[in-house]
Structure 1
Amino acid sequence: MSIKEIATQLKLSVSTVSRALNDYPDISPSTKKRVLNEASRQGYQLKGVDTAHWVQTKKVITAIIPSQEAQYLDPILSKVLAGTREALQAANYLLQVASIDTGSKELSEFERLVKSGDHDGFLLLRTRVNDPKVHRLLKLNVPFVCYGRTENASKFAWLDLDNHQVGQLSLNRLYEQGHRHIGVVSVNERYFFAQQRLLGIQAAAQERSLSIPTNHYLKVGFDEEEAYVACAEFLLRQPHISALICLTNTSARSAALAAMRINNNDHNVEIVGCDTPLDELNASMGITGIQQAPPQQIGKQLADMMLARIKGKPVNDLQVVLSPGVVTSGFS
């Protein structure tokens, strides 16, 4: 933030802010206090006792999301980031969110961002199975925390849900309700959470001697409208499916809406939404969700882990698995 922006924030002139920062005697003590408090809140520090020169320290944490998801940031991830931002602000840090292309230019684009030098640390969201950003940050020795894991997660700090158990709970819940024709609405398995949830579903199905045929799997993206169309077409092609396990919150809402609109009252499709906390359950849509920590609480924990990593806390002490609760019935 520049002096001009501080002036705008406080509704003062640029000259007044500048003179207050430089301790001119013609500025009242109350105005100086307001300006200094705002400057301090925005990360400014006095450089040199004699020079009275204020400079802005970095104190910036950058959260990275894949660029193709930036437009479709789901409500859960938004709430996670809101919790992170609030906790970081309390520690006088700023949170900025950047989207990085996951195509051929991903690594060069990411390196350019890292080497710009405007960051104290990074939060990586929606990590992939073999995420090149993780490898690059490890090589550059930059503090970072992942919301999610990769195949080799022993070398860095991370917070993650036990996604294998999420998949198992989902399948077992539906099986115990009597469902035998179950479909799965997935996302790209390059995301580690999706891979683990699928493995959990398949492990539970194998234990139950239940076969889920390949044509009972549907892969969608994070755009809710496109997911709705795909789910509707899927259910029309597979009318005997009685239940769907959706690996994301957005796909659960899309599937529930599609099921309500195309099915008769005598053939309701049960929807299990992985990653759907209690406060996201929609009574009218009848989604069954899996309990987990509130998203903003998760965001705060990510911020606390990021600050601890910056202070040098070992990564082995910053690797946290969140256990999902029992599947909780929706209100259909």
Structure 2
Amino acid sequence: MNLKDLAASLGLSQTTVSRALNGYPEVSEATRKRVVEAARRHGYHPDSRARSLATGKAMAVGLILPQTAKQEIVNPVFTDFVAGASETLAERGYDIVLSIVADADQSAVYRSFAAKGRVDGVIMQAPLTGDLRIAMLKQLGLPFVVHGRVSDHDDEYSWMDIDNRHAFYRATAHLLDLGHRRIALLNGLEAMDFAHRRRHGFLDALKERGVRASPDLMASAAMTEGYGYAEASRMLCLPDPPTAFLVSSMMIALGADRAIRAAGLTVGRDVSLVTHDDALSYLSNDTDGIPIFTATQSSVREAGHICANILLKLIDEPDAAPVQTKLEASLIIGPSSGPAPN
């Protein structure tokens, strides 16, 4: 089906259909949704080159992944985020340009994007504490949104994040309420801003209850199943082992769960386990509607949708003020957490 046929099937002009698919503000939201749904139903895909010529835009969004994080390509968190962002961008006819580059080359790629007009904006992933990319992107004048935040100047740029600090404060408080005092933290890399905030939420909850944080019960590394297994195994062999683990991802949780069982212990009875869960499509914390782990839960696919919508707004309205969206994670109680053993 071509544009003429799609317009005829809807009883609309080709101009109206084209403007609806391109997100022009003069087309009502009801009409836009009707056109987008009909295009999806009939399998109509506008020619991106023609749309680029018509709009003066590249009709593409950039997503740069550092080589040090290339394992993220097969990480279900990354793939779910890209899936969510792609769904929203595709509705407006935008493609995603994915580049995997050496850490030192990131600035050059962003500058190339801006200079050559290859993309209309970028989604910045994996922000670090004090990340220098924020200032560079602002200087380039390239519309951008950050998936996450960079501490100290949250009000100066557009971002979408969950409240990581509060999520881990709540999770730690839950374990403290159950009587746990030896609580281990298996965090992600703490140079990453989200992990930095999670650590502070964990420490805040302990301090509030007068519980001393034990350095031997805190670890930080790339979030893999092997890391979860190795660190949980090490900690369970300590003279005074933890009675509970709070971990930063489902992958770490699977490794910690394996270590607990290998030690002859029962999860939820002998040792509690709480994880952060991104409501992933391919690694679900759910069996027939019943959670596997107690978890602080947020949808990373929804985060992709939100980031894409923020970026599209910034592309359409270059003078718009920065847009910030902070979501709360839900605390889902499952069988993996229980009272501290006597």
Q: TM-score, normalised by structure 2?
A: 0.75
Asked if 1 retains the 8 angstrom alpha-carbon contact of 2:66 and 2:106, the reply is no
Q: Do the aligned partners of residues 169 and 131 (structure 1) sit closer, same or farther apart at CA in structure 2, a change above 3 Å counting?
A: same
Other-structure match for 2:129: 129
Amino acid at match of 2:135: H
Q: Say if 2:332 is the partner of 1:328.
A: yes
In structure 2, the partner of 1:31 is none
SS of 2:303's equivalent in the other structure is helix
CA–CA distance in structure 2, aligned partners of residues 113 and 234 of structure 1:
46
For the aligned residues, what is the CA RMSD? 2.9
Partner of residue 20, structure 1:
none
Deviates more, 1:111-120 or 1:142-151: 111-120
Deviation at 1:271, TM superposition (A): 1.4
Aligned with residue 312 of structure 1, among 303, 313, 317: 317
Aligned residue for 2:156, secondary structure, equals coil
Q: Kindly tell me: are residues 220 and 231 of structure 1, through their superposed partners in 2, closer, same or farther at Cα, counting changes over 3 Å? A: farther
Distance 1:66 1:243, change over 3 A: farther
What CA distance in whole angstroms lies between the structure 2 residues aligned with 1:68 and 1:46?
A: 33
Q: By how many angstroms is 1:120 displaced? A: 0.8
Q: Compared with structure 1, are the counterparts of its residues 171 and 106 closer, same or farther at alpha carbon in structure 2 (3 Å cutoff)?
A: same
The question of whether the paired residues in 1 share the 8 Å contact of 2:64 and 2:106 is answered with no
Provide Cα deviations, 1:221-279, integer angstroms capped at 9, x if missing partner.
13333443343334334662111111233222222222222233496321111244387
Q: Cα gap change, 1:47/1:93 in structure 2, threshold over 3 Å: closer, same or farther?
A: closer
Q: How high is the sequence identity, in percent, across the aligned residues?
A: 20
Partner of 1:170: 171
SS of 2:135 mapped into structure 1: helix
Partner residue, 1:30: none
Q: Report the CA distance between 1:316 and its aligned residue.
A: 4.1
Look up the match of 1:179: 180
Whether the 8 Å contact between 1:127 and 1:149 is mirrored in structure 2 is yes
Q: Which amino acid aligns with 2:141?
A: N
Counterpart for residue 138 of structure 2 = 138
Structure-1 separation of matches of 2:216 and 2:195: 18
Between 110-119 and 166-175, report the one with greater CA deviation. 110-119
Question: In structure 1, how many angstroms separate the alpha carbons of the residues matched to 2:256 and 2:95?
Answer: 37
Give the match for residue 223 of structure 2.
222
**Offset from partner CA, 1:52-83 (integer Å, 9 cap, x none):** xxx99621111223322222343133212101
Aligned match for 1:281, one of 250, 272, 285: 285
- Tell me the distance in 2 between the aligned counterparts of 1:314 and 1:178: 52
Distance 2:97 2:126 in 1: 16
Mapped to 2, the partners of 1:87 and 1:310 lie a distance apart of: 14
- 1:270 pairs with 242, 263, 272, which one? 272
